[in-house]
Amino acid sequence: FTINVASSGGNATSGKQYGFLHEDINNSGDGGIYAELIRNRAFQYSDAYPLSLDGWRPVGNAKLNTSRLDEPLSDALPVSVNVSPRKSNCTPRRGAAGNGNIGLLNEGWWGMAVEEKTYTGSFWVYGGYEGVFTAELRSDLEEDVVFGSVEIESEAQEGKWVEHTFELVPESNAPNSNNTFALTFDPAGLTDDSLNFNLISLFPPTYKNRKNGLRVDIAEALAQLHPSMLRFPGGNMLEGETNKTYWDWKDTLGPLKDRPGFPGVWGYQQTHGLGLVEYLEWAQDMDLDIVIGVWAGLALNGDITPKDELQPFIDDALNQIEFIRGPADSTWGSVRASLGHPDPWPLHYVEVGNEDWLAGGDAGWESYQEYRFPMFMKAIREAYPDITVISSGATSDGYDIPAPGIGDYHPYREPDALVEEFDMFDNQPIGHIIGEVAATHPNGGIGWDGDLMPFPWWIGSVGEAVSLIGYERNADRIPATCYAPVLRSMDRWQWAVTLVQFAADPKLTTRSTSWYVWELFAAHPMTHTLPAEGELDPLFYVSGTNEDKQSFIWKAAVYNTTDHADVPVSLSFEGVEPGTKATLTVLTNIEGDPYAYNDPHEGNNIVGSTVTTVEAGDDGAFEFELPELSVALLDTAQE
């Protein structure tokens, strides 16, 4: 392959090509990147997920019941747990620690890591009690092994909800994540028959020390990808199962006691702990641009909000935008300011709905094209002419997207299919984001009739690399490409193929094969693409420059599934002198098997990375070979 790259004639890029979608799927929010350690902390429920004491067990001679007091903690959290002493002839339960205390313990999100760090906790209690509460992190395997404990002076009062806060610093690291959090009290101090507790919360230190923030190891695995774009809050989560149960941004604001939670769409009740402000703080802390999805009045069950009832939802979207980027003295900007954020957040991309070629069936999609998207776009553009409004479907979904809107394309594909679509956007006049993309199914043509792969796998990741190159060649019209979904709990998931896997134990946090590919490309942003002459297939490439670094960049993938030969490359950049040095990074599969993957339980990494310095020869060309099924990056920047 002889490739000659011109020094001009390309297009400016957004420089923000690589990012991810986040929605709460796979317990990626609650029990995932949202650092709360307590599961079912506020006994939230819905028609879909009934009230339960899931995650909780009694300690000592305690009896636990869910309870609806006449005076609830808040309208949003009407149910609490009642803790009362059992009759004295009962055998004390394990965990009574011999001190006669009673209470409750939480199993966490299928375990709880315990480290010598400062944990921040709080709980609300209703009822009279004189004495101390004891908060403990303890082993669930070995009786009486307590890693850390703190006593909290009771301020509880009869007939009143009182919040208690505490810090807990374990004296040692737990050897594994089979641990629990216990909250107990001495029943002799009760001046009521029992106590009610609600919103029992415990956080480890969080990413960038945000209150109500992100789990450090998971956030770091994402930050180390060098992302520049966050699309949220979904995905299907935004749409909701019905027109009454979508992700309503207003329910996610303010004190946790005012957040009702909602059923989500992925098989579990969600807390709303990771709310709009937390997403925006996340973007701020990782320096990400954002694409926010606003609810379009269509739900997954086919509910359609008709045209004559749509205006309140358009107004709601405008309010949401004002909350994010309006001045601090505007109606919703002042709400933001009251929550500790007087400065607006930047917002340049707003997407109307999600995959609305699916939601609401044919009638929904017709309504989307006929009036829904045009009405939202008109209102948003009138108020914010600089915002790019994104349709939740693509031109390839049959939508002739009206200007100045752009589309959203979601290819979940076999790797061969991603490669076949390499040039799909080459002559496409309408801009798109790639709001969700991943290789999900093995080659073979069965696609969605078969299961997803168990993890991202090497040939899938190389297929993704080819599609990323295709998108980046059109980066003037594709301002962002997002992997989805991005996180997966190994304890409960609905979608196996994600960039990062995790469990309660941070040692299991695992970067997938695709993570390494995306990281390599994202770490080398181009400010301009540059036209290249040369053959394509099985070598696919995009070339460009980073004007800030005065460097030339070349991203490539070799996708050869039948011919296993190495690919010789002769690469010249117009204006690059003989003797110029460049760094060439090549990712390969060290196991050889194209179906190999990184498995958290194996702790393996099948991605090999070779970094060499190459030098332009007398003719100004860099000469090298790339192995079969490999991903490569050449950059002339001198670090």
Instruction: With beta carbons less than 8 A apart as the criterion, state whether 26 and 503 touch.
Output: no
447 contributes a contact to ligand AHR by CB under 6 A: no
**CB-nearest residue to ligand AHR:** 235
436 contributes a contact to ligand AHR by CB under 6 A: yes
At 609, the amino acid letter reads S
543 contributes a contact to ligand AHR by CB under 6 A: no
Q: Which is nearer to ligand AHR, 236 or 467 (CB)?
A: 236
Q: How far is the CB of 361 from ligand AHR (least distance, A)?
A: 15
- What is the per-residue binding string for ligand AHR in 327-346, x denoting contact by CB under 6 A? --------------------
# residues contacting ligand AHR (CB under 6 A): 12
Three-class secondary structure of residue 382 per DSSP: helix
Q: How far is the CB of 214 from ligand AHR (least distance, A)?
A: 20
Stretch that binds ligand AHR, among 33-41, 234-242, 316-324, 472-480 (CB under 6 A): 234-242
Phi first, then psi: what are they for 516, rounded to 5°? -70, -35
Q: How far is the CB of 219 from ligand AHR (least distance, A)?
A: 19
235 contributes a contact to ligand AHR by CB under 6 A: yes
Q: How far is the CB of 264 from ligand AHR (least distance, A)?
A: 11
Stretch that binds ligand AHR, among 64-72, 150-158, 233-241, 293-301 (CB under 6 A): 233-241
Crossing angle for the helix pair 458-473 and 513-522, to the nearest 10 degrees:
20
As to burial, measured by CB atoms within 10 angstroms (0-12 exposed, 13-18 middle, 19+ buried), residue 54 is middle
Measuring CA to CA, which residue among 40, 171, 52, 194 is closest to residue 110? Answer: 40
Residue 111 zone, left/alpha/beta (φ > 0; ψ -120 to 50; rest)? left
Q: Residue 451, Cβ neighbours under 10 Å: how many?
A: 11
19 contributes a contact to ligand AHR by CB under 6 A: no
495 contributes a contact to ligand AHR by CB under 6 A: yes
C-alpha span between 336 and 327 (Å, rounded): 9
498 contributes a contact to ligand AHR by CB under 6 A: no
Q: Which is nearer to ligand AHR, 264 or 600 (CB)?
A: 264
485 contributes a contact to ligand AHR by CB under 6 A: yes
Per-residue tokens: 118: 């400062």
How far out from the chain centre does Cα 520 lie? 20
C-alpha span between 571 and 468 (Å, rounded): 20
Q: Which is nearer to ligand AHR, 322 or 355 (CB)?
A: 355
514 contributes a contact to ligand AHR by CB under 6 A: no
- Residues β-bridged to residue 162: 125
355 contributes a contact to ligand AHR by CB under 6 A: yes
Restricted to residues 391-420, the positions that interact with ligand AHR (CB under 6 A) are 410
Q: How far is the CB of 77 from ligand AHR (least distance, A)?
A: 27
* Terminal Cα distance for the chain, rounded: 28
Per-residue tokens: 477: 């019209």
294 contributes a contact to ligand AHR by CB under 6 A: no
C-alpha span between 389 and 405 (Å, rounded): 5
Q: Which is nearer to ligand AHR, 164 or 231 (CB)?
A: 231
Measuring CA to CA, which residue among 360, 221, 219 is closest to residue 298? Answer: 360
C-alpha span between 95 and 105 (Å, rounded): 9
Residue given tokens 């959090």 in the structure block: 181
Q: Which is nearer to ligand AHR, 298 or 558 (CB)?
A: 298
264 contributes a contact to ligand AHR by CB under 6 A: no
484 contributes a contact to ligand AHR by CB under 6 A: yes
Q: How far is the CB of 57 from ligand AHR (least distance, A)?
A: 33
Q: Which is nearer to ligand AHR, 495 or 595 (CB)?
A: 495
Measuring CA to CA, which residue among 497, 548, 541, 491 is closest to residue 521? Answer: 541
Concatenating the DSSP letter of every residue in 67-127 gives E--SS-S-SS---EEEEEEPPTTSPPPTT-TTTT-EEEEE-BTTB----SS-EEEEEEEES
236 contributes a contact to ligand AHR by CB under 6 A: yes
234 contributes a contact to ligand AHR by CB under 6 A: yes
Q: Which is nearer to ligand AHR, 184 or 461 (CB)?
A: 461
DSSP code for 512: -
184 contributes a contact to ligand AHR by CB under 6 A: no
- Residues β-bridged to residue 59: 103
356 contributes a contact to ligand AHR by CB under 6 A: no
Q: How far is the CB of 494 from ligand AHR (least distance, A)?
A: 8
* Interacting residues with ligand AHR (CB under 6 A): 23, 25, 234-236, 354-355, 410, 436, 484-485, 495
